[in-house]
A and B are shown apart, each in its own frame.
Chain A
Amino acid sequence: MTTPQTIEQYLAQLRTALAGADRAMIQDALYDAEEHLRSELAENPGMSEAELLAKIATSYGAPEEVAEIYRTTEKTVARALRTPPPRPRRSGFGRFFGVIADPHTYGAMFYMLLALATGIFYFTWAVTGLSMSAGFALLIFGAPFFLLFMASVRGLSLIESRMVESMLGVRMPRRPPYTGRERPWLQRIAAMLTDARTWATLLYMLLMLPLGIFYFTLVVALMSISLALIATPLLKAVYSSYVDSSTCVGAPPWVCDFAAWSISWFGVAIWCLLGILLMLVTLHLVRGIGRLHGALAKHLLVKSARV
Chain B
Amino acid sequence: MKTQVEASPGTVAAVRPPIPLAVEAAAARAAGALSRLAGRGGGTTLPGKLLWKVDPAAIDRLAARLPQGTVLVSATNGKTTTTAMAAEILRPRLRVATNASGANLVSGVASTLLRSGGAELGLFEADEAALSELATRLRPRALLLCNLFRDQLDRYGELEHVAARWRKAVAGLPDATLVVNGDDPQVGDLARGRPGSLVFGLDDPRHARPELQHAADSKYCLHCGAPYAYAAAYVGHLGDYACPNGHEARPPLDVAAREIDLRGLDGSSFTLATPGGDTRVDLVLPGLYNVYNALAAASLALTLGVAPEEAAAGLRRFSAAFGRFERIPIGDRRLLMLLIKNPAGTNEAVRTIVDGGAPRLAVIALNDAIADGRDVSWIWDVDFEPLAAGLDRLIATGSRASELALRFAYGGLPRERIEVVPSLEAALDRGLELTPPRGELTVLPTYTAMLALRRIVAGRGHVAQYWASAA
Instruction: Tell me whether A and B are bound partners.
Output: no
The interface of chain B, by Cβ under 8 A from chain A, is: none
